[in-house]
A and B are shown apart, each in its own frame.
Chain A
Amino acid sequence: DVKVTQSSRYLVKRTGEKVFLECVQDMDHENMFWYRQDPGLGLRLIYFSYDVKMKEKGDIPEGYSVSREKKERFSLILESASTNQTSMYLCASRSGTSGGNEQFFGPGTRLTVL
């Protein structure tokens, strides 16, 4: 059974704190993703990684950075959390170097920044 896990389901942080969101997949997938989900906006891609230490910006990378030191783990970092980063964060992974393969999603982390 394929699995993508995220370190926390709920997280509350204060403005200015450094926040780490962790994602682990056990499917040996090359590609991993971080999305932000907001009501009425759907999912928006923050960053993705297609290999260890490789990353590319998505549509809304401002205020975020990522790290992929091992194939199975992809971290999202909020260097200085702000209230407008309060959101649901979804991690996903997929295999392959061509289109059509589905993404497998984690359960999400609901982050609140006070």
Chain B
Amino acid sequence: AQTVTQSQPEMSVQEAETVTLSCTYDTSENNYYLFWYKQPPSRQMILVIRQEAYKQQNATENRFSVNFQKAAKSFSLKISDSQLGDTAMYFCASQKLYNFNKFYFGSGTKLNVKP
């Protein structure tokens, strides 16, 4: 099994500032996928961003970007210009390329955006 570790159980950030959520993972695979999911309070979990491991370029989706360090097995999420609606649990997840129905999730980071 792949292990995904999120070492920050809870974080806070002021509105409009930038915050980085950490994620490390353990895998023996050379190619795989990585994801960040967001779970707002009492709402459905949604995909924030995904990264394919063989792609060198870090993925970006509007205010969300990742810092993917393959050798270090690190996949952090940067949220720029934080908004109140970014308050949520954030989960990092990995997926093997060929066992594609097995997703491995971290324990989550609770992000509070303060006004």
Contact = CB atoms under 8 A, between A and B. Distances in A.
A89 B107 CA distance: 15
A50 B52 CA distance: 22
Interface residues of B, number: 29
Contacts of B107: 40-42
A74 interface: no
Contacts, number: 59
A100 B52 contact: yes
A41 B89 CA distance: 13
Given A100-B33, A100-B52, A102-B47, A42 B101 contact: no
A57 B21 CA distance: 31
Contact of B108 (A4, A42, A48): A42
Interface string A32-52: 010100001111110010100
Contacts of A107: 43-44
A109 interface: no
